[in-house]
Amino acid sequence: MPPPSPAPARVGRLRLAGLLFLAMASGALLNNQLFRPSSDNPEGTARGYLRFKEILSYVDRDYADTVDTEALADYAVAQMLEKLDPHSVYIPARDRANTDAFLQGDYDGVGIEFNLARDTMTVVAPLSGGPAELAGVQPGDQILSLGGRRVSGARLSNAQLQQLLRGPKGSTVAVELKRRGAARPISLTLARSRISNNSVEAAYLIDPETGYIKVNRFAASTYDDFHQALLELRQHGLSRLILDLRGNPGGYLDRATKLADEFIAGSRKIVYTEGKGDQYDTQTYARTTGEFEEGSLVVLVDEGSASAAEVLAGALQDHDRALLVGRRTFGKGLVQQPIPLSDGGELRLTIARYYTPSGRSIQKPYGASYAEYSRDLAEREKRGELASADSNRFAKALRYRTDHGRPVYGGGGIMPDIFVPRDSLAHSSYFTQLQGKGLLRAFALTFYQQHKAELEGLRFEQFNSTFRIDDQQLATLAAQATRDGVKAEPGAARRCAPLLRNHLKAYIARSAYGLVPYYTVLRENDRELQRALTAVSDSTVMLALLKK
């Protein structure tokens, strides 16, 4: 016989007690400054918080094995944010320094650009004016240990090695080097100092009138670095410009909009954002007289150009101020606000969307699956979008107009005015493996060391006009690559030969002569840059394209 059910009055009292408890708990949470939900659904948010707290407590107290509850909480938070969108993220306190360093204008360290190949850390070049250069560190030096810790053969990552090189200004690090021709390892003690982390990677004149500036991200000092570079090139005769934003993942939006203001005249709109309600709605306009508001301008973009780089490219295209050359950009148009947390971590939460002046949304579609979103570029390649402009499809409903009436499309990324297919050889499996394992740089550094005296006797102009990588050197590279685990592919090696010669020559020029010679050599095989040069040098053609 079933037990008698509780009296209705008793059930009512239990229910009321439960509701009172929840109300009290919710009130305590809402009064806590660390817990401030929106007014739309405070009870639901409080219930979710209590549920998570209760389950985590049971797991910590009663689960059969010992568990790392902080790691579980991090995992749960990451999974929760993935349900929102692909760019809202939680950054634990332990990772914030590395994450923030990407957007810093400078850092404290010793100033070494290095290559990691065959588990060997080799100096590509000491940075100009840094402690390593002043102490006599040379390209080709192999670093055996840092701060007493063995790094050669230690299977450390690039990030781990960077951490060993960096530290507070004025602190010291012991460095042990192996140098070709030296009987013994060389021991140095380097005092760390402030190192410029320049986001303007290169700035020089390609010809007496045409400047080239490459911006690799929008960091704290990007606008100042760019403005200084542009002024110097103007003083040397620049009247037309190629701005390279390929592979630029974005960064600080205000640096990108200030840079746009250098090109856009008057008080025209640069970008606007729309979020929940009016709190995060913004509109940004050109405000100052820029340094280059007239003159031919071409912007290089590709599938690696994202976020703030797309904002800049979209504004210039919408106002018919520049020709865009390359391939459709990444398509990140979500605005993240950094929110510091009490544990030292940081929440970067999407609070709005970017729109170009014509009204285009930059953000490409995303669903519930983060994995599917992350495969987007691979799917673009399968559909042929990186090889043919016609394979890029846009919805007619998302068509907008530039100032001159040219059609442009929203729905994800910025489509350039002049399409250049991706170099299939540069992205072939064979070439990618050689680059990814650092073998091209390693080969070039060895060559530099072996021929250092000869190279020092040549001016770069002589080197560039006479130096060639021969077939025997390519055969030696292929043999070394096979020993390092890259499967021999004679056919692929033959197809890649011109690209391999060009990159090896450029890497040798980097160690022997510096960054500008490096880019000068690479230009020979850079199809996008060649198309940009053709467009920017013919102002009549360029104006016609901008008024189509």
Q: Where in the sequence numbering do the catalytic residues fall?
A: 307, 318, 332
Strand (E) positions, 267-387?
269-275, 282-285, 296-301, 323-326, 334-340, 346-355
Pairing between strand 120-126 and 112-117? antiparallel
Short-list 258, 253, 268, CA closest to 352: 253
Short-list 362, 329, 363, 322, CA closest to 248: 329
Short-list 471, 490, 474, CA closest to 439: 474
CB 354 within 8 A of CB 260: no
- Measured between alpha carbons, how far is 310 from 211 in angstroms, rounded to an integer? 21
CB 498 within 8 A of CB 479: no
Q: Which residue has the tokens 């929440």?
A: 347
Phi-psi region of 161 (alpha: psi -120 to 50; beta: other; left: phi over 0): alpha
Q: Which residue has the tokens 């996008």?
A: 528
Q: Which two tokens stand for residue 140?
A: 């080709």
Pairing between strand 323-326 and 296-301? parallel
Which residues share a beta bridge with 195? 107
User: What count of other Cβ atoms lies within 10 Å of the Cβ of residue 256?
Assistant: 28
Mark 310-349 as b/e (b = at least 16 C-beta within 10 Å). bbbbbbbbbbbbbbbbbbbbbbbbbbbeeeeeeeebbbbb
- Measured between alpha carbons, how far is 72 from 11 in angstroms, rounded to an integer? 37
Question: Please, is 381 exposed, middle or buried when counting C-beta atoms within 10 Å of its C-beta (0-12, 13-18, 19+)?
Answer: middle
Short-list 325, 312, 326, CA closest to 215: 312
Q: Which two tokens stand for residue 73?
A: 């909480």
What are the helix and strand counts (H, E) for the chain?
Answer: 20, 21
- Measured between alpha carbons, how far is 319 from 242 in angstroms, rounded to an integer? 17
List alpha helices for 102-157, DSSP H: 131-134
Residue 58 is inside which H or E element, if any? helix 42-62
